Amino acid sequence: MGASLLEQLIEGLRVLPGVGAKSAQRMAYHLLERDREGALRLAERLQAAMAGIRHCAQCRDFSEAEVCAICASPARDRSVLCVVETPADRLAIEQATGYRGLYFVLQGRLSPLDGIGPRQLGLELLAQRLGAGEVREMIIATNPTVEGEATAHYLAQMARAAGVTPSRLAQGLPLGGELEYVDRGTLAHAFGQRSEAPG
């Protein structure tokens, strides 16, 4: 006999990051006992989001349209491109700094042991953008982790090969930290004090 509906619900909730068996069980019981209407709304919104959200054809951020609002905006400086690991990192920079250029979202970082290479990060698309001649500076805003630094080195080589100046966020970001969790003042300072990327 297959798993019961309750067991399937608990197992389904475990796809969320940081949610183990006990947490998933508590969530399932809460929804069933106290908030069935909320659970149905959540199910509808999850279904709509999965069907309606895609990757921007230019920057790979999440978008409901083929090209996201930032890439489509004529007010953005198209000569500067900031490369980040995640949409959350892009949002952190957008909120904490006065940056008015464009972005490229890797949706990860180079990690050969996990099977994440240049293809998985959309680096062919990035190479096309760099080769088009519009970008003059590429700000490398990967996280200061081992994988983030390796990714930054690779990106700096890509930029130089295309005749684009690579820059890296200034020190002051904690080693091993994640941009998403850095306070706004530190992130704004590091962004403003960026320097040419090594590599």
Per-residue pLDDT band at 173 (split at 50, 70, 90):
low
- At residue 102, the pLDDT reads 97
Query: Which residue reads 């994440």 in tokens?
Result: 116
**Topology alike, domains 5-52 and 68-196:** no
Ranges of each domain in the chain: 5-52, 68-196
Q: Which residues contact 62 (CB under 8 A, 6 or more apart)?
A: 53, 54, 55, 56, 68, 87
Q: Partners of 83 in the beta sheet?
A: 104, 140
The domain 68-196 is classified under which CATH number: 3.40.1360.10, 3.40.1010.20, 3.30.930.10, 3.30.70.120? Answer: 3.40.1360.10
Q: Rounded to two decimals, what is the model's pTM?
A: 0.78
Cross-strand pairs, 104 = 83
- Section 166-187 average pLDDT: 74
How many beta carbons lie within 10 A of that of residue 87, not counting itself?
A: 20
Instruction: Supply the pLDDT for residue 39.
Output: 94
Sign of the dihedral through C-alpha 46, 50, 56, 61? positive
pLDDT over 90 (residue 140): yes
Q: What's the whole-number mean pLDDT along residues 74-87?
A: 96
Residue-level pLDDT at 181: 72
User: What was the pLDDT predicted at 52?
Assistant: 97
Instruction: Note the pLDDT tens digit of each residue in 4-57.
Output: 999 999 999 999 999 999 999 999 999 999 999 999 999 999 999 999 999 999
Q: Taking 80 as the threshold, does the pLDDT of residue 88 lie above it?
A: yes
d(Cα 167, Cα 139) in Å, to the nearest integer? 5
What's the CA gap between 111 and 114, in Å, rounded? 5
- pLDDT number for residue 172: 63
Indicate the pLDDT class of residue 182, thresholds 50, 70 and 90. confident
Higher pLDDT, 139 or 199: 139
Bigger pLDDT: 159 vs 175: 159
Q: Which of 73, 96, 72 is nearest to 84 (CA)?
A: 96
Q: How confident is the model at residue 125 (pLDDT cuts 50, 70, 90)?
A: very high
pLDDT number for residue 199? 65
Yes or no: is domain 5-52 CATH 1.10.3470.10? Answer: no
Query: pLDDT at position 2, please?
Result: 77
Query: Tell me: the pLDDT tens digits for 93-122?
Result: 999 888 999 999 999 999 988 889 889 999
pLDDT digits (tens, 9 = 90+) for 44-79: 999 999 999 999 999 999 999 999 999 999 999 999
